[in-house]
């Protein structure tokens, strides 16, 4: 199963700031990595180790809980963050 995802980026953001978050995970075979807000997938990478989310100007409505999930045929792991 994939190792637990790791988040690179800051979680402290002011309205109007540019945001770039990268979530990465390792596994063999390579995982499918998704980044979701609620039930909506906002970024995905198929058979790659990382996925990125970029917001040119963060808005209050971009806040909330996100989930980074890595999966392959051996299982899955995830990391939740706000």
Plot region of 47 (φ>0 → left; ψ -120 to 50 → alpha; else → beta): left
Report how many domains make up the chain: 1
Q: Is residue 56 part of a domain?
A: yes
Higher model confidence: residue 66 or residue 1?
Answer: 66
The pLDDT > 70 percentage for the chain reads 99
Q: Is residue 15 part of a domain?
A: yes
Residue 5 has pLDDT above 90, yes or no: yes
Distance CA 28, CA 75 (A): 11
CATH code, domain carrying 70? 2.60.40.10
Q: Respond yes or no on whether the N-terminal peptide bond of residue 30 is cis (omega within 30° of 0).
A: no
State the residue range of the domain holding 12: 6-81
pLDDT tens readout for residues 25-58 = 999 999 999 999 999 999 999 999 999 999 999 9
Enter the tokens of residue 3.
């190792």
Residue 66 has pLDDT above 90, yes or no: yes
Cα angle 36, 25, 17 (rounded to 5 degrees) comes to 50
Q: Is residue 1 part of a domain?
A: no
Q: What is the mean pLDDT of the chain?
A: 93
């Amino acid at each position: 199963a994939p190792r637990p995802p790791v988040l690179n980026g800051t979680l402290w953001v002011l309205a109007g700031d540019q945001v770039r978050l990268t979530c990465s995970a390792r596994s063999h075979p390579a995982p499918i990595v998704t980044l979701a807000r609620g039930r909506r997938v906002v970024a995905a990478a198929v058979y790659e180790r990382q996925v990125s989310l970029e917001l040119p100007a963060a808005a209050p409505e971009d806040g909330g809980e996100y989930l980074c999930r890595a999966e392959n045929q051996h299982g899955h792991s995830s990391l939740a963050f706000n």
